[in-house]
Amino acid sequence: MIVPMEHLLTLATLLFALGLACVLVRRNLIMILIGVEIMINSVGLVLVGASAFWQQVDGQIMVLILMAITAAEVAIGLALVVYLHQQKKSIDVGIFDEMRG
């Protein structure tokens, strides 16, 4: 480890917070997907950092599995975004409120 674990955790928390802000603030479906990407990447940074800290390879395997899951999530999510855009001609999240009570 070249830096203390705490600094790495702080960096990952900042990245996670920015991704969360992207999910909460933006009204665009693709931007929400991008925010989820940032959050997943910050988690991956923590996993690789812990893997380097404890000198194990397990965290990196977890990041590899995480990348496969992310690829699946993005493929399905973008297919859904295209489908919703075909239906409503817009991907503003404010439009998709049919389930509001």
Partner 1 sequence: MEILFFYLVAGVAIISAFFVVKCRNPINSALNLVTTFLCLAVFYVMLESPFMAAIQIIVYAGAIMVLIIFVIMLLNFGQTINGRYTHGVAAAGVVSVLLMLVATQLVRSGDATGTGGPVTSALIADVGHTELIGRALFLDFVLPFEIAGVLLLIAIVGALIIAKQKV
Told to check if 2 binds partner 1 by CB under 8 A, we report yes
Show contacts with partner 1 in window 35-74 (CB under 8 A): 35, 37-38, 41, 44-45, 48-49, 51-58, 60-61, 63-65, 67-74
Whole-number minimum distance, CB 98 to partner 1, in Å? Answer: 16
Cβ 39 vs Cβ 19: under 8 Å: yes
Q: What DSSP line would sit under 82-101, residue for residue?
A: HHHHHHHS--BTTT--TT--
Whole-number minimum distance, CB 65 to partner 1, in Å? Answer: 5
> What is the H or E stretch that residue 76 is in?
helix 58-88
Whole-number minimum distance, CB 36 to partner 1, in Å? Answer: 11
